[in-house]
Amino acid sequence: MKKPNLSILIVNWNTRDLVLRCLESLAAATEGIRREVIVVDNGSVDGSPDALARRTDITLLENETNLGFASAVNQAYKRSSGELVLLLNSDVGVAGQALQSMMGFLEDHPTIAGVAPLYVFPDGSSQPFHFRFPTFSVTLANCSAIARRFIPDITRRLREYRMLDDDFSRARPVPQPSASCLLLRRSILPTDHILDERYPIFFNDVQFARSLATQGLDLWVTPDATVVHDGGASTRMLGITGKRQYLGSTIRMLTETESRLKVWLFRVVVFAQHVPLWVLARPTTIGVRQLWMALSGDVGSLPTEPTAKAE
pLDDT of residue 296: 97
Superfamily for domain range 6-132+163-231: Spore Coat Polysaccharide Biosynthesis Protein SpsA; Chain A (3.90.550.10)
Q: How far apart are CA 224 and CA 299, in angstroms?
A: 38
Domain ranges of the chain: 6-132+163-231, 236-294
Selection from 134, 136, 132 nearest residue 258 by Cα: 136
Q: What are the E-state strand segments in 34-175?
A: 35-42, 59-63, 84-89, 92-94, 114-120, 130-131, 172-173
pLDDT of residue 140: 97
pLDDT of residue 96: 87
pLDDT class of 1 with cuts at 50, 70, 90: low
Contact yes or no for 39/19 (Cβ under 8 A): yes
Selection from 78, 22, 48 nearest residue 197 by Cα: 78
Beta strands 172-173 and 219-229, pairing class: antiparallel
At 71-124, the pLDDT tens digits run 999 999 999 999 999 999 999 999 889 999 999 999 999 999 999 999 999 999
At 166-191, the pLDDT tens digits run 999 999 999 999 999 999 999 999 99
At 30-77, the pLDDT tens digits run 989 999 999 999 999 999 999 999 999 999 999 999 999 999 999 999
At 258-275, the pLDDT tens digits run 999 999 999 999 999 999
